[in-house]
Structure 1
Amino acid sequence: MDNSAGGWLPAVETFAKGTFATAAALGTVGMGLLYYGQNYLIYPSAFPSGSREEVAVPTDYNLDYDSLELQTPDGVTLRCYLLVQHKDLGVTKVGATHIDEDVDPDLTDNEFIASRPTVIMFHGNGGNHGHRIPLARVFYLKMRCNVLMMSYRGYGLSDGSPSEKGFVVDAQTALDYLLSDPLLSQTSIILYGQSIGGAVSIDLASKNPDKIAALVLENTFMSMRSLIPSAMPLLGPVSFLCHQRWDSASKIPRIPASVPILMLSGAQDELVPPEHMRSLFELVVARKGDKMDNEKVKFAEFPHGGHNDTCAQPGYWSVVADFIAGLGDRTAAKAKKAADAGGSML
């Protein structure tokens, strides 16, 4: 009996060693795939099917636009859309807000363009910027904003492959374009970011604190590493391997307290727990610096909003419109500057 039991022990020991070695090997391979393949998980630019080949254009929605090709410093071509305002837009476009009574009749069309805010739209990680044209339409027609619809590298018809480092370059390239334009550089620049686009917006504002008039952030997160345990539970134990960090929590304090921020959260968000937005808002409120106007720092939660449909919730666009309208003093100052410089505009 003892000899028989003793005979089993080496076999069990060998099996255990083999199992451990196999598990270790698979674990190593799995971690390697996670480390090197995480960009495919975080940036599903081909989803839904056809998103890299089929991109809607604003004229599909009765909107005039310019195809804007931006060349990044590292040689990537980004194929974006630019929608520029016109003074008589309320007459020529169905659904446009008539704001002519609030406009100085002596302003030229160019001066009117410069008097309106410019919104840079940074979309989420799925689909392409063409899918967000209905959102741009609200900014353009209802709020009378100029709109730059960003197409990241590796998304839509833009060249390159997506990454955090690349997106940061893309965002800066878009802002630099606006700042170099004789007309649009006179406008108040507002960043609108959804999900990962919120992280892009926060990063850009933190690096250009005196160039951004305001931020509107929807369903974004504290950091990618802190999001993984809820978004991809099986990968939670190895979230430290995530090199696409998007650490917004560390960047919010670098945005001056004088910069207004609106945060829009879907209480039923199934991808980014609403606690992320609340925690970011606490950081927003805690910013130190010159004159934070609490009236221009707002948090709006939509009880039935999910990750992808918060923007379709009742009251969402009213909150956004009121927030942008509340920037009036800043926009008015820009308008005066633009009017004074009218003779040098294109």
Structure 2
Amino acid sequence: MGGITSSIAAKFAFFPPSPPSYTVIADDSCGGRLCIPEVPRRDNVDVLKLRTRKGNEIVAIHIKHPKSTATLLYSHGNAADLGQMFELFVELSLRLRINLMGYDYSGYGQSTGKTTECNTYADVDAVYKCLKEQYGVKDEQLIVYGQSVGSGPTIDLASRVPNLRGVVLHSPILSGLRVLYPVKRTYWFDIYKNIDKMGMVNCPVLVMHGTADEVVDCSHGKQLWELCKEKYEPLWLSGGGHCNLELYPEFIRHLKKFVLSLSKSKAATNGSKETTVVSESQPKPSESGTSDSFEPCPKPSESGTSDGSELRPDAPEVSRNSLDSRLEKSKKSNKPEKSRMSTDHVDRFRRRKGLVW
């Protein structure tokens, strides 16, 4: 089983959208600054190309919020690129009042090279280095966010950086092999061994997972949460699937509470650690899926980092509906609409292959 599984994982683990949903050009009218012409420009967005230690050049975007005191480093899921994620990134920055850095893995979008587990680790390291050196982000200001396969580079980075502000795991995987088989031990050929690294993460961790996830079973998220040193109240979204959690009002509310709690706990108990961090206005780790009304705008809080220059807006054609409109629809019925339309055909293909994370 080992040889077969490793070859299957190597062949089918990554699904970069083909063709990419965006392009990157240098705009002569702005002194040659990079932009993504598929969407209107925004003055608070930078488009960057970063060189990784593996020699690849990856594309990243930095979104600046004027009132932020923290930065979110977002590692997206499979079968998506910056073009499909851009709108969500902009709205998360707005709602959470944070600076946000998103990037494409090697081989995704307009990033060069081949997508491999090792390359994704080099990719996230290059983005982390850029945040520290170019934007002046301190570890205590940084929240790292991993969605699905993005939980791999996210947990790897968090296991090596001890003073991060927090970690968010969105539909995470225990490991690549465990998505396919209910194995009880870790094999050398497995990829993204999150189950073995989780215990090395020292900051508060929020886990969010849909109870009806047909791609990565909710048990992955629950087991990772049990392994956390500093547990924040998890969010088990009743009926939530793999690619639609952001459609639920609870998603943004719970995420916002987490970001706010990190800011408050840092201000109040500077450096003190607790076994479990409990959110203020939510009782117990319950399976939610109900529809509280979505707060129109997050309260001025913490989020972001002090960045030097004002950056430019450039972003890819958005293939996702706006978060607001999608949340409005979800408030009418607790079941979310089908998400990420541009990747539906890929999801169907991957489901037949049995590797859909």
Q: Structure 2 length normalisation: TM-score?
A: 0.65
After superposition, what is the alpha-carbon deviation per residue over 1:303-346, rounded to whole angstroms, capped at 9, x for unaligned? Answer: 12100111212311011011101112366589xxxxxxx9x967
Structure 1 stretch 52-61 or stretch 76-85: which is displaced more? Answer: 52-61
Q: In the aligned structure 2, how far is the partner of 1:299 from the partner of 1:307?
A: 16
Q: In the aligned structure 1, how far is the partner of 2:113 from the partner of 2:7?
A: 17
Pick 1 or 2: higher relative contact order, CA cutoff 8 A, min separation 6.
2
Please name the residue that 1:70 is paired with.
Answer: 50
Report deviation, 1:59: 7.7
CA contact (8 A) 1:223 1:246 kept: yes
The secondary structure found in structure 2 opposite 1:165 is helix
Residue type matched to 1:164 in 2? Answer: E
The secondary structure found in structure 1 opposite 2:159 is helix
Report deviation, 1:190: 0.6
Structure holding more helix per residue: 1
Please name the residue that 2:108 is paired with.
Answer: 155
The secondary structure found in structure 2 opposite 1:124 is coil
After superposition, what is the alpha-carbon deviation per residue over 1:102-136, rounded to whole angstroms, capped at 9, x for unaligned? Answer: xxxxxxxxxxxxx5211111001112122112321
- Does residue 1:81 correspond to 2:61, yes or no? yes
Identify the match of residue 318 of structure 1 among 250, 253, 256.
253
Q: In the aligned structure 1, how far is the partner of 2:257 from the partner of 2:246?
A: 15
CA contact (8 A) 1:268 1:305 kept: yes
Please name the residue that 1:277 is paired with.
Answer: 221
Report deviation, 1:252: 0.8
CA contact (8 A) 2:175 2:190 kept: no
Structure 1 residues 242, 45: closer, same or farther in 2, change over 3 A? farther
Identify the match of residue 223 of structure 1 among 165, 175, 191.
175
The secondary structure found in structure 2 opposite 1:327 is helix
Give the unaligned 5+ runs of structure 1: 1-26, 88-114, 231-235, 335-341
After superposition, what is the alpha-carbon deviation per residue over 1:53-99, rounded to whole angstroms, capped at 9, x for unaligned? Answer: 66895983764311111111121100111112235xxxxxxxxxxxx
Please name the residue that 2:11 is paired with.
Answer: 40
Identity of aligned residues (%): 24
CA contact (8 A) 1:140 1:147 kept: yes
Please name the residue that 2:142 is paired with.
Answer: 189
Identify the match of residue 239 of structure 2 among 304, 315, 320.
304
Q: In the aligned structure 1, how far is the partner of 2:36 from the partner of 2:233?
A: 32
Structure 1 residues 144, 278: closer, same or farther in 2, change over 3 A? same
Q: In the aligned structure 1, how far is the partner of 2:256 from the partner of 2:181?
A: 35
The secondary structure found in structure 2 opposite 1:199 is helix
Q: In the aligned structure 2, how far is the partner of 1:38 from the partner of 1:318?
A: 35
CA contact (8 A) 1:123 1:197 kept: yes
Q: In the aligned structure 2, how far is the partner of 1:331 from the partner of 1:178?
A: 20
Map of 1:164-203 to 2, 5 A cutoff? Answer: 164-181=117-134, 183-185=136-138, 188-203=141-156
Residue type matched to 2:204 in 1? Answer: P
Map of 1:328-339 to 2, 5 A cutoff? Answer: 328-329=263-264
The secondary structure found in structure 2 opposite 1:315 is helix
Identify the match of residue 60 of structure 1 among 32, 39, 42.
39
Residue type matched to 1:270 in 2? Answer: E
Please name the residue that 1:98 is paired with.
Answer: none
Structure 1 residues 314, 330: closer, same or farther in 2, change over 3 A? closer
Identify the match of residue 124 of structure 1 among 71, 77, 82.
77
CA contact (8 A) 1:225 1:242 kept: no
CA contact (8 A) 1:164 1:244 kept: no
The secondary structure found in structure 2 opposite 1:271 is coil
Report deviation, 1:271: 0.5
Map of 1:283-298 to 2, 5 A cutoff? Answer: 283-284=227-228, 287=229, 292=230, 297-298=232-233
Please name the residue that 2:312 is paired with.
Answer: none
Aligned CA RMSD, in angstroms, stands at: 3.2
Structure 1 residues 67, 35: closer, same or farther in 2, change over 3 A? same
Give the unaligned 5+ runs of structure 2: 25-34, 272-305, 310-357
Q: How many residues align?
A: 261
Query: Which structure would you say has the larger Rg?
Result: 1
Residue type matched to 1:74 in 2? Answer: K
Residue type matched to 1:204 in 2? Answer: L
